[in-house]
């Protein structure tokens, strides 16, 4: 199975040397790709009693800028956002940035997207948090049009484009859109999940779930497949990239094997956890994961390192 690494925004030093050292190590170890999370701002927890989200001390680099740098220092790695909070960004600008990054990687970029949960960021960016689902659906259609048509005309509630287009175009036309989400929210329940799963089945080029392959996880995957068939899509045409958290999944090969049995075609690993602080600790844990999965026959090295 192809394995990617999630960039450890919050557990390595925020300087260019550490970023380069980590990224080059990921490439040299034979990981398939690197994924960047996306959060623009952290909230001041002191003014928000009970706040559980990212705070003022949570480190996040801007993903498109970060991945553009990575494309230059580790050109063999595939790149992806995982996920970009799309409705809090301007759609045409995202299309332009993504097209450029796709060119920089020679077509080895995926735009992972989601609607997000942090109202603080939406407010600061001047976007409507409550409308994010409807905006998101519209954005997907606009992005694909901009990546495949030389001149685009769009008139919707959220977008107006009059006979205009991008140039240069991306290598991939369109760039693959991998959608996040789909887990059971403790307060929103299954009705919310069904809306998300139907969207992924209808509009996604791939799916990046973050839940475990337990009984509930298997139910979610089966619902997703049912919704694919309802819109006459083969579920295999919407591949799954699942998540390995070494600090929470102590038997790493068993977790990957379980996801493989559920139908995941690739994995990404986030090695954050107790004792993982600094670039050296992150690289060491990544190498431990690589060796463990390789010994279990669950590691497919990147093609140029095989």
Q: Domains of the chain (ranges plus CATH)? A: 2-305 (3.20.20.30)
What does the pLDDT read at residue 306? 55
pLDDT on residue 305: 75
Q: Long-range contact list for 181-189, CB < 8 A, 24+ apart?
A: 181/114, 181/115, 181/209, 182/207, 182/209, 182/211, 182/220, 182/224, 183/209, 183/210, 183/211, 183/220, 184/211, 184/216, 184/220
Beta bridge partners of 268: 4, 243
Q: Which pLDDT score is estimated for 188?
A: 61
pLDDT of res. 192: 80
Is residue 60 a contact partner of residue 66, using CB atoms and an 8 Å limit? no
Q: Which residues lie below 8 Å from residue 303, measured CB to CB, with a gap of 6+? A: none
Predicted pLDDT at 183: 80
Give first-to-last CA distance, the chain, whole Å: 13
pLDDT of residue 304: 86
CA distance 8 to 13: 9
Walking along the chain (306 residues) 10 residues at a time, the average pLDDT comes out as: 97 96 98 98 94 93 98 98 98 99 98 96 97 98 99 98 99 99 69 91 98 94 98 98 96 98 97 94 98 97 81
Residue ranges of E strands in the chain? 2-6, 33-36, 78-81, 84-85, 109-114, 152-155, 160-164, 177-180, 206-208, 241-244, 266-269
Beta bridge mates, 240: 207
């Amino acid at each position: 199975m192809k394995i990617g690494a999630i960039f450890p925004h919050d557990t390595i030093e925020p300087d260019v040397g550490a970023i380069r050292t980590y990224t080059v190590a990921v490439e040299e170890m034979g990981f398939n790709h690197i994924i960047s999370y996306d959060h623009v701002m952290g909230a001041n927890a002191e003014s928000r009693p009970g706040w559980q989200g990212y705070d003022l001390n949570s480190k996040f680099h801007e993903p498109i800028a970060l991945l553009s740098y990575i494309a230059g220092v580790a050109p063999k790695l595939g790149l992806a956002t995982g996920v970009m909070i799309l409705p809090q960004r301007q759609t045409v600008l995202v299309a332009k940035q993504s097209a450029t990054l796709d060119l920089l990687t020679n077509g080895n970029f995926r735009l992972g997207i989601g609607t997000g949960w942090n109202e603080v960021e939406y407010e600061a960016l001047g976007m409507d948090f409550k409308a994010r689902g409807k905006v998101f659906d519209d954005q997907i259609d606009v992005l694909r049009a901009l990546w495949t048509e030389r001149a685009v005309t769009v008139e919707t509630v959220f977008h107006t484009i009059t006979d205009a287009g991008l140039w240069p175009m991306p290598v991939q036309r369109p760039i693959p859109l991998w959608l996040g989400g789909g887990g059971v929210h403790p307060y929103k329940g299954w009705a919310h999940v069904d809306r998300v799963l139907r969207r992924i089945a209808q509009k996604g080029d791939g799916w990046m779930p973050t839940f475990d392959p337990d009984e509930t996880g298997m139910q979610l995957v089966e619902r997703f497949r049912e919704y694919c068939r309802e819109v006459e899509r083969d579920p295999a045409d919407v591949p799954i990239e699942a998540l390995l958290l070494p600090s929470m999944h102590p038997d790493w090969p068993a977790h990957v094997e379980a996801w493989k049995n559920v139908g995941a075609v690739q994995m990404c690993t986030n090695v954050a956890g107790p004792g993982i602080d600094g670039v050296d600790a992150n690289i060491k844990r990544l190498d431990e994961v690589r060796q463990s999965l390789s010994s279990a026959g669950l590691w497919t090295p990147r093609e140029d390192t095989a």
